[in-house]
Amino acid sequence: MDNIRDIDEIKARIEEAVKDIKSSATMREIKMKFLGKAGEIPSLMKKLKDLPPEERPAMGKVINALREWAEGRFNEFEKMVKAAEMDERYQKEKIDVTLPGNRRKKGAYHPDTLIVDELVSVFAGMGFEIYEGREIETDYYNFTALNTPKDHPARDMQDTFYLGADYLLRTQTSAGQVHVMESKKPPIKILSPGKVYRPDDDATHSPMFSQMEGLVVDKGITLCDLKGMLDEFAKKIFGSGVKTRLRPSYFPFTEPSVEVDVSCFECGGKGCKLCKGTGWIEVLGAGMVNRAVLENCGIDPDEYTGFAFGMGIERIAMLKYGINNMKLLFEGDVRFSKQFRV
């Protein structure tokens, strides 16, 4: 072999190859081609044995020197390629920390949520437990067990959405009372918020709305306990100067039944637009749990008595926040909800 010429020629090809290397991947390829196990320089080493023995040491030295030179050269270029690559990456990933960030828009609690939270905290303070009933009920729980059998005229007030013959969308959270009394022995003190459904639709009615039910059953509970508790509730929700009054009413599942009014918190009882000049605003229905309902739930009415109340959350929200159309509560417009942020 023409060793010296081989060596110079390899050197020239290495210089040529490294000159315009752009990536460390091609760098690795070229390095393998010359220095890898089967690369050109190690192959030269293997050919040493074909030389006459006296020439081998000198030639060995020359090849070693070539290998060292090549390694040095590759390392130099490798550094340059890597630095260029890093630079390119920095440029690509560069961010302007002075640019304004992408702000996430803040939501707001719905007025219903604000009222429910407030009611829950007022009643929890009086020792009420939360019970969440079911929205799909049977005719029995929504009506019959609540002393409203199939032929009862009060059913007319709460026509409903039926889901086949046995199931319906509950028209009142009162349906939950029956589940609670069936599964729990007195003393009972529960508060039950939830959605209810009725085929009504106008400025103050929606086919789906929310109610808050309360139920207290124990020995010796009277209408006075209901009145005392309502006074407390009204003061906390509508303001400390507010009074309550009870008016006779009718619900099949309470006896006696009452409609509860609060003195107008807008005009202080003098008469204004909100209270339609009467000085009073109706806020909920209530009464003493009917003996028949207690019996239906396996509670002895001679031993226990109780009261129940139910209010419309949207109605309370509309009164408290001065909202004049119920539809606004169902549009999901955050600009609307934001006005009631606490």
Shortest distance in whole angstroms from residue 310 CB to ligand PHE: 3
Q: Which is nearer to ligand PHE, 14 or 308 (CB)?
A: 308
- For residue 256, cis peptide bond before it (omega within 30 degrees of 0): yes
Q: Which is nearer to ligand PHE, 63 or 181 (CB)?
A: 181
Shortest distance in whole angstroms from residue 187 CB to ligand PHE: 18
Q: Which is nearer to ligand PHE, 133 or 310 (CB)?
A: 310
DSSP states of 12-65: HHHHHHHHT--SHHHHHHHHHHHHSTTSHHHHHHHHGGGS-GGGHHHHHHHHHH
Shortest distance in whole angstroms from residue 194 CB to ligand PHE: 12
Nearest residue by C-beta to ligand PHE?
A: 310
Under 8 Å between Cβ of 31 and 41: no
Shortest distance in whole angstroms from residue 280 CB to ligand PHE: 18
Strand, coil or helix: what is 255? strand
Q: Which is nearer to ligand PHE, 59 or 294 (CB)?
A: 294
What is the distance, to the nearest Å, from the Cα of residue 13 to the centroid of all Cα atoms in its chain? 67
CA-to-CA dists, residue 33 to 18, 41, 78, angstroms? 12, 9, 15
Shortest distance in whole angstroms from residue 129 CB to ligand PHE: 17
Under 8 Å between Cβ of 157 and 148: no
Q: Return residues touching ligand PHE (CB under 6 A).
A: 172, 174, 213, 251, 254, 285-287, 308-310
Q: Which is nearer to ligand PHE, 211 or 337 (CB)?
A: 211
DSSP states of 81-144: HHHHHHHHHHHHH---TTSPP-PPPP----HHHHHHHHHHHHHHHTTPEE----SEEEHHHHTG
Q: Which is nearer to ligand PHE, 122 or 308 (CB)?
A: 308
Shortest distance in whole angstroms from residue 229 CB to ligand PHE: 13
243/262 Cα distance (integer angstroms): 6
Beta bridge partner(s), residue 205: 202
Q: Which is nearer to ligand PHE, 20 or 202 (CB)?
A: 202
Structure-token pair, residue 334: 């955050």
Shortest distance in whole angstroms from residue 258 CB to ligand PHE: 8
121 CB burial (10 A radius; 0-12, 13-18, 19+): exposed
Provide the 8-state DSSP code for 342: -
- For residue 187, cis peptide bond before it (omega within 30 degrees of 0): yes
Q: Which is nearer to ligand PHE, 174 or 206 (CB)?
A: 174
Shortest distance in whole angstroms from residue 96 CB to ligand PHE: 59
